Amino acid sequence: MRYGHKYVFLLPGLLVLIAILIFPVIFTVRLSLSGWNSYNPGLDFVGIKNYVRLFTSDPRFWEAFSRLAFFSLTTVFLQYILGFGLALLVWRDVLFKRFFRVLFLIPMMTTPVIMTVIWKTVFHESLGPVNDFLSMFGLTPLWLSDPMLSKVTVIIVEVWQWTPFMFLLLLAGLLSLPKEAFLAASIDGAGPLRKFIYVTFPLMAPISIGAIIIRLIEASKIMDTIYVLTSGGPGTSTETTSFYIFIKGLREFQMGYSAAMSFTYLIVMILSLTVIVNILIRVFIGRND
Amino acid sequence: MKRITVAVTSMLVGVTAAGIAAGDKWSDQFPHIKNTGDIAGECSYESMSQKDYSGQTLTINTHAVPVMGEPTALHAEQFSALTGAEVNVIHTPAGDLYSKAMIPFQAGQAPYDIVFGFSNFIRDWMAYLEPVPEYYVNMRQMQDVTKSHIDVASWDGTMMQFPIDGDRHYLKYRKDVIDNPELQAKYLAETGNELRVPQTWKEYAEIAAYFNGWDWDGDGELEYGSAEVMKKDDLMYAAFFSRSVAYAKNPATPGGFFFDLDTMTPLINSPGFVEALTDWVEAVNYVPPGGINFSLGDEINSFGGGQALFSFSWDDAFVAAMEDGSAIKNKVGVAPLPGADRVWNRETGAWDETYNQAPYIVWGWAAAVAKKSKNHELAFDYLCFFSNDANHQADIAIGRFGVNPFKKSDFVPDIYIERQGWDQQIAEEYTETLMDMEEKSTNRVFPLRVPGVFEFTSAVATGTSKALAGQLSPQEALDEVAAEWEAIIERVGVDNVREAYAVGVALEDNLR
Amino acid sequence: MRSFYITLKYLAIALWTAFVVGPFLWALSTSFKDFSSVTSGAKYIPWLQFKPTLEGWNVLWRTPARGGVDIAEPFMNSLMVTTLASAISIALGTLAAYALSRYTFKFGFVKNNDITFFFISQRIMPPVVLSIPFFIMLSKFGLLDTIAGLVTVYIVLLMPIAVWIMVDFFNKVPRELDETALIDGCNPFQAFFQVVLPNSIPGLVVATMFCLIFGWTDFFFSFILTFTEVQLLPVRIVALNSSITPWWSLSAAALISVAPLLLVAFVVERFLSKGNLSGALK
């Protein structure tokens, strides 16, 4: 009796998901084995030609992966630190904390496609406010047109947009922490820093890991920000894998090849995430046993 | 005899009076055409009002508002009022027009009766389009279209796209600088050269560099040499080609510009193109801050806003500059693209030391009817109405519409002088320059229109932008592009590309 | 020493607030500009530094025939699709998450963590290549350009988030609660709805917020899968993006599109403050 219930809970969601996904997934696999492009639509069969091409004659794909790793890891790391910090700041003992909590959520609620255009105007080298302010000090950094600096700009925009994600999750986590552990620590005479390291942080481990993983997945798909700000430029300095897949797929219409790239991307991501989860578990939980 | 004359005369008077009366009637109801009134023709307001399409629906996918988007919607509204048809218009950003049309087409559907796009989509989406029927091709309104634009809209003699707009790249410059005697004297004194409309790209570079980074028009802001489309997006390769044609289109070596037609070897890394890319890399020194990331919109903002001395891509920057309310209205001029003092000869493997200039008949807005649409007649009538004489004359007078001249009767200075307040000299310069490019040049380059065209142009965009960013030297960058082009040709099939490319080459070599 | 930390705290909050609010203020100011005030260098204060106009805002209500993009209908469409898809995703996802948190599953070698991972892995795939199959699939069922079609696709996007977050939050709710309820004579469903769920309000609220956000701000799928009948807000706003990027109307559009979610943020914050686990054990 008890065991029958578990299926009733799980299966509606799982089956609905599988039902909607099954055709697209199979189609995409089949697509990756075809040479579908703008002048040759249709599922002809070319075997693993796309994959061969991907692994042997497309260094640009793998270069894009290194940039992807750079962007994802940097932005998620920053978002975690900042998000946690902000959550701690407005958790308790602050004036107007409820107002700030709402305020800090807002950037996440903007539509990336639209908000990034606003950012483009903010960082516009001759007509935007940032350089207007900096020109008082004689500086006009090339936010969007310098290979190094454009990466920084992308990171700034991403951090602005998605730190609230971490912030919200971690705040919710903090708010649902059991008070007993803190009482015990206070009785033991622990100060705020010790309380954090030995009580708060370990208790927040599961949520932290979950949040980081989701953000890593989302951050890796970064598209709108790059598309609007730099189109992957200057040159290829801000081109990530997902952007490259987009170009090949929807601009050049090499759908078959794009599907092969997407699958490879999926596999690489799954492998990487598995490794990362293990690392995170050791960092967050292993140490505090 | 006398009675017949009287009868005929009174008939003519009657018809004319009726014509004038009809013109007034339509322009009262539709203020858009108030300057000309309705102009007679098979697709005039009068003619369309005779048609009854009530109960039928037309779906159009067009560009964002206002460029092309607003006129599409406006004419849709008018068409609907005249014929009773229901017209739905969707607006899509430029870069997505291709995918928004192709995905349904390739999935075997035609949700849109009419699709707007760029004219270089033609080879890719031709298979899904309905050719323009003879009836429309033979109309007087169509015969008025310049030869270049009929060619651009057609594939191997069949008109696949309906001409609704014309585009070209030309040089725009600040008259208040180039024609300014004080600055001319200053320039001569400091450089020993004459300040004039640049005849070559080298001269362009010299003048732009000189006028880069100081306030030469006294408005309290710094100005710069040139505003160009350098952002690695869907359009910058056209800017590169405009810079290349003078160095690489040699009238002495027909048989291909992008490829050698016989061998289908890419020519993109030949010395002519490399020289142009070298020029372009140098241009990074005389563009405004952030210029290397300028999209077309930024170029328009920059030149149209008075920040740059030169610009050379589509009409939009010029139009923006000449709008009422622009600080530089009537201070800008028009000239053909600069040429070069030497052009590469691929047969002799050396430079021909002669002056060479070639217009780049760049692609522009195009509209076409889907083959699977159930409303062919309705769709073609709409497009014909869109570009009827009255509408067209009104459209080209509204800068933000993005409709630029492409009919022979468009190149009349008065239109611009009276309706848009242009200076006479500028209007004449504009119409003459454009008309020459359209009708008179024999050394033209047509846009690349082969299968998989965007793979080729994307490779060019990536390569050139790497050179601009300093990641590679021009030669290395173009070698990379050439290698990619060869890979693409192999994937697409040499014969497929050659067959398509031959169509463009025939136009360039004036064989048709 | 303590007051030093307090000052530091407020300073940090102030800095971050400035960072968050800055772009919005800029957007607000820009929404009242026009071509000449945009191209003549950065300007901030209307009337003092530039002549303000309502053009940027008016464009959002005008029809395209007059140079505008009417956002009223897409706004409502977005509301409908987002709320429907979120509701379904949360409902199905929460149930599934509870199962994954409380019970052990074993389908061959596939265990709980694998199933959870399967859910979240749906978020990994970049949507580009999914455009053609989803297009074909929806057209076969006649769901192109319909609310139902979009909702179907959005469920795939949103359910994984719901599952992933709720699993975490359910794991925090001690099993003793469930067991106590069962001992007291509840069946598993009652245990879930009456005991566990009320104690997971923060998680539920957060998951709902994320579903709403990801649904409201999606551009890609609504772009590919709709034509004339059902247009969503981001697609309609982007219709302003022609050759000249209209800084002013896009700024206005950005501000408007944030508005509904702002309301949701207030609601979320309210619930967050209420749900606190420690009371439950008593």
The pLDDT score that the predictor gives to residue A16 is 93
The pLDDT score that the predictor gives to residue A203 is 85
Domain map (residue ranges) of chain C: 2-53, 72-272
pLDDT higher than threshold 80 for residue C280 = no
Of the residues B416, B436, B456, the one at which a domain ends: B436
| Chain C contacts in chain A segment 241-280 (CB below 8 A) | 242, 245-246, 249-250, 255, 258-259, 262, 265-266, 269-270
Which structural domain, as residue segments, surrounds residue B337?
Answer: 170-236+286-352
Looking at the DSSP assignment, which residues form a beta bridge with residue B340?
B356
Judged by DSSP in three states, A164 sits in: helix
| Residue B457 within any structural domain of the chain | no
B365-389: b or e for each residue (b if 16 or more CB lie within 10 Å)? bbbbbbebbebeebbbbbbbbbbbb
**Do B308 and B225 lie in a common domain?**
yes
CB atoms within 10 A of CB B214: 9
Looking at the DSSP assignment, which residues form a beta bridge with residue A155?
none
CA–CA distances in Å: residue A270 to residues A65, A113, A267, C101, C114 = 14, 27, 5, 22, 12
Q: What is the mean pLDDT of residues C265-282?
A: 63
Give the domain CATH number at B50. 3.40.190.10
Residues 6+ apart with CB under 8 A from B405: B166, B396, B411, B431, B434
* Domains along chain A with CATH numbers: 58-288 (1.10.3720.10)
The pLDDT score that the predictor gives to residue C281 is 35
Tell me which of B410 and A6 has the higher pLDDT. Answer: B410
Chain mean position to CA B419: 22
The pLDDT score that the predictor gives to residue C191 is 83
State the number of CA atoms in the 13 A half-sphere of C34 facing the CB. Answer: 12
CA–CA distances in Å: residue A57 to residues A20, A51, A61, B266 = 35, 10, 9, 19
Q: Quick one: B213 exposed, middle or buried, by C-beta within 10 A (0-12, 13-18, 19+)?
A: middle
Using CA atoms, how far apart are residues C219 and A114, in angstroms rounded to an integer?
10
Query: Are C135 and C224 a contacting pair, CB within 8 Å?
Result: yes
Structure tokens, A275: 């490794």
Percent of chain B surpassing pLDDT 70: 95
Question: How many domains, chain B?
Answer: 2
**Do B315 and B296 lie in a common domain?**
yes
**Do B230 and B315 lie in a common domain?**
yes
The pLDDT score that the predictor gives to residue A154 is 94
Nearest CA in chain B to C60: B65
Q: Do C9 and A6 touch (CB under 8 A)?
A: no
**Do B7 and B140 lie in a common domain?**
yes
| Residue B99 within any structural domain of the chain | yes
pLDDT higher than threshold 80 for residue A185 = no
| Residue B328 within any structural domain of the chain | yes
pLDDT band at residue C211 using 50, 70 and 90 as cut-offs: very high
**Do B143 and B185 lie in a common domain?**
no
Residues B371-399: tens digit of each pLDDT = 999 999 999 999 999 999 999 989 988 88
State the best of B454, B466, B494, B498 to mutate against chain A, taking most chain A CBs within 10 Å.
B454
Using CA atoms, how far apart are residues C122 and C118, in angstroms rounded to an integer?
7
Residues B205-255: tens digit of each pLDDT = 999 999 999 999 888 888 999 999 999 877 899 999 999 999 999 999 988
Using CA atoms, how far apart are residues B373 and B144, in angstroms rounded to an integer?
28
**Do B155 and B14 lie in a common domain?**
yes
State the best of A1, A9, A161 to mutate against chain C, taking most chain C CBs within 10 Å.
A9
pLDDT band at residue A83 using 50, 70 and 90 as cut-offs: very high
pLDDT higher than threshold 90 for residue C27 = yes
State the number of CA atoms in the 13 A half-sphere of B348 facing the CB. Answer: 10
| Residue B494 within any structural domain of the chain | no
Q: Do B301 and C132 touch (CB under 8 A)?
A: no
Structure tokens, A3: 């065991």
Residues C117-142: tens digit of each pLDDT = 888 888 998 888 888 899 999 999 99
Query: Subunits that touch chain A (at least 3 Cβ pairs < 8 angstroms)?
Result: B, C
Of the residues B389, B412, B436, the one at which a domain ends: B436
Of the residues B403, B436, B469, the one at which a domain ends: B436
pLDDT higher than threshold 90 for residue C239 = no
Nearest CA in chain C to A248: C128
Query: Looking at beta carbons, which residues of chain A come within 8 Å of C250?
Result: 114, 117-118
Using CA atoms, how far apart are residues A263 and C129, in angstroms rounded to an integer?
10
| pTM score of the predicted model | 0.90
**Do B175 and B152 lie in a common domain?**
no
Helix (H) or strand (E) holding A18: helix A2-32
Query: Looking at beta carbons, which residues of chain C come within 8 Å of B64?
Result: 238-242
**Do B50 and B199 lie in a common domain?**
no
Most confident of A196-210, A227-241, B46-60: B46-60
The pLDDT score that the predictor gives to residue B21 is 45
State the best of C29, C84, C125, C189 to mutate against chain A, taking most chain A CBs within 10 Å.
C125
**Do B222 and B145 lie in a common domain?**
no
Check if A162 contacts C (Cβ < 8 Å): no
Chain mean position to CA A18: 24
Looking at the DSSP assignment, which residues form a beta bridge with residue B345?
B350
Check if C139 contacts B (Cβ < 8 Å): yes
**Do B155 and B175 lie in a common domain?**
no
The pLDDT score that the predictor gives to residue A284 is 82
Structure tokens, A112: 């990336």
Using CA atoms, how far apart are residues B460 and A81, in angstroms rounded to an integer?
41
**Do B142 and B16 lie in a common domain?**
yes
Residues B256-281: tens digit of each pLDDT = 899 999 999 999 999 999 999 999 99
The rounded mean pLDDT for chain B is 90
Q: Do A128 and C189 touch (CB under 8 A)?
A: no
Query: Subunits that touch chain C (at least 3 Cβ pairs < 8 angstroms)?
Result: A, B
CB atoms within 10 A of CB C246: 25
Task: Work out whether strand B350-352 and strand B129-130 pair parallel, antiparallel, or are unpaired.
Answer: unpaired
Judged by DSSP in three states, B253 sits in: coil
Looking at the DSSP assignment, which residues form a beta bridge with residue A37?
A40
Residues A110-132: tens digit of each pLDDT = 999 899 999 999 999 888 899 98
**Do B337 and B367 lie in a common domain?**
no
Structure tokens, B164: 């609704």
Instruction: Return the CATH superfamily for domain C72-272.
Output: MetI-like (1.10.3720.10)
The pLDDT score that the predictor gives to residue A20 is 93
Using CA atoms, how far apart are residues B120 and B363, in angstroms rounded to an integer?
6
pLDDT higher than threshold 60 for residue A250 = yes
